[in-house]
Every structure is written in C-alpha cells, then in structure tokens.
Amino acid sequence: MDTDTTLAERYVTAVARSVPVADREEVSAELRASIADEVDGRIAAGEEAAAAEYAVIAELGDPIAYAASLSGRPLVLIGPRYYAAWLRLLRLLLAIVVPVAAVIAGMIRAIGGGDVGAVIGAMIPTILMSGIQVAFWTTLVFAALERLGSTGDTVLEWTPEKLPRTVILGARMADLIGMAVLTVTLIGSVIWDRTIGWGDDHVHVLAPGLWPWVMTAWFGLLLIGLVVEAFVAVRGRWNAPLAAVSIVASLVAMLGAIVLIWRGAVIAPDLMARMQAASTPTADIVQIVNISITAVLGGILIGILFDAYRKLGLAREA
C-alpha cells in the first residue's frame, strides 16, 4: 500500500501544515512514531490493522487542534484571560465614541442645509461605521494580546507567579487601553478639525480662539488621566490621591467644555454664522447644537461620576 494514502500519513501531513516550518520535520517524525506505537499496541491486543489505525487517529482528534496543543497556540480569537476586559472596554468605547460621532455627523449635515431626514440619514451610517471601527480595532488589540501575552492557560488556574500579570492585564489594563484609545481619538479629532476640517467643504467646528491655551490645557487634562491610569496599571491598585487626581481632571475637562459651549466660545465663527443663517423662528440651530453637545457631555459626565464612585471604592479596598 502507498504510505501516502494511509490515515496515519495523511494525519501527520495535516498536523505538519499547522506547525512552524522549523518544527515540521521533528513533529512529523515524533507523531509518526507515536501513531505507529499506538497502532502496534492495538494490533497486539487483537484489533485489525485498519481498525486500529482508525481508532488511534480518531483519539488524536482534529489535526489543527492537535498542532495548536503542541505549541500552546490559542484557537480562539479572545480567550478567557482577556474576554472580560475586552467586553468591558468595548462597551465603554461604543457608549462614548458612537454617540459623539453620530452627533458630529448630524450636526454637519444640518449645517449644510439638510432636513431632518437628511440628518438622520447621515447619522445612521456614521453609527454603523464608527461602531464597526471601534469593535474591529478593540478586538484586534486584544487578539494580539491573546497571542503575544498569553501562555495558553486560563485565569482559573491560578499560581502565585501570575500575580503581576493578572493584576496588570485585568480590568485595570482595560482602563489603561480604553483611556489611551479615547485620548488618541479625541486629540486626533481636534487636530484634524484644526488642520483639515470635516466633510467635503472642510468645515471647521472648533473656534480658532481655543488655540493654543484652552486646547493645551484640555490636552493636558486628558494626558493627566492617561498617566494616572498607567500608574494604576503599574502599581496594581488605586489609592485615594490617584483617584482624586483622575476624578478632578475628568470633571474639569467636561465641565469646562460645557461652560465654554454655552458661552459661545467653542464653535467656529464661520460655522456659527452658517448655523444662524440656517435657523428659523421655530428651529434655532445653534440652540439645538448646544443642547445636543451638552447632552452628550452630560452623559459622559454621569459616567465619570459612576467611575469616580468605583475608583474611590477600589482605593478604600487597597
């Protein structure tokens, strides 16, 4: 019989395809010998050769799964070690990024003279695309962590050696990644607005008078929050001073933004003029935009207060 057509040889070939090239020869030789020993043992026990070979291959299971077990390579996109952190961060980013993106898209369309249907039509694809982007990039980061940082075991199999890894890569690492993604997104959006603008008309939303001092202060507050999260990730726990700094920085950033909006200091003059021109006695576009932005920031502010309660609780437990 041609050995290339035997179940054993086909199985060895399938496994070899799923292991690194440098290991294929060694893995193939060891697996081939192991299968032969198992088959010989079954034949010696009275089984027919074909049945013995089939039984041994069936016990080994899927060749892809077997190859993964040799190298400890995960067969899931995000495993138990990172799943909870991934889900928590994904929910947070979806709750923040998607509404903000939708409001901006609707605002730009309304300023351009679109009616309610056009505004909704601009917001719906923005919601879908921003949600997809957030989900994709967040999942990509954690999938990379799964392959670069995981040892293949689960958080249930605890040993003292895992203490640093478990603390850093748990919920606090999710906070750090979330803060980093949010900080980069916000700063990038502001710089994009300043240099390029939005839409086909390159509309600038933010007033140039915010530069450099207000924006520098706002960027500084965001970076303070990011640095605090990094300290917590390194230390492994919150304490009262770190929690206080994080809470104050977040509150000042959000409350300051709300105050500036209602003082008319945030929206660019050209955009303000276009909104006023598009307003009617029954629909003050400026007022609608101010209320919409305030609603979004208010929602974020409520989230900050809940987060403050959580951080202070963690600080008391530390």
The whole-number pLDDT of residue 111 equals: 63
Region 172-191: mean pLDDT is 77
Q: Of residues 118 and 50, which shows the higher confidence score?
A: 50
* 222, pLDDT greater than 70: yes
Coil, helix or strand at residue 21: helix
Give the chain's end-to-end CA distance (angstroms, integer). 69
The whole-number pLDDT of residue 159 equals: 46
C-alpha atoms less than 13 angstroms from C-alpha of 96 in its C-beta half-sphere: 20
* 161, pLDDT greater than 50: no
In tens, the pLDDT along 34-47 reads 888 888 888 888 88
Q: Of residues 164 and 58, which shows the higher confidence score?
A: 58
pLDDT band at 74 (very low <50, low <70, confident <90, very high): low
What residue segments make up the domains of the chain, in order of their start?
3-71, 80-317
The whole-number pLDDT of residue 116 equals: 63
Region 255-261: mean pLDDT is 81
Q: Are 154 and 141 in contact (CB under 8 A)?
A: no
* 2, pLDDT greater than 50: no
* 48, pLDDT greater than 80: yes
Region 157-179: mean pLDDT is 54
Task: State the burial class of residue 78 (Cβ atoms within 10 Å of its Cβ: 0-12, 13-18, 19+).
Answer: buried
Q: Are 243 and 314 in contact (CB under 8 A)?
A: yes
pTM over 0.75: no
**Mean of all residue pLDDT scores within the chain:** 75
The whole-number pLDDT of residue 152 equals: 43
* Maximum CA extent, the chain: 96
- Scan for tokens 């039984």, then name that residue: 55
Per mean pLDDT, which range of 106-110, 187-191, 312-316 is the poorest? 312-316
- Four-residue CA torsion sign, 106, 112, 116, 122: negative
Region 162-183: mean pLDDT is 60
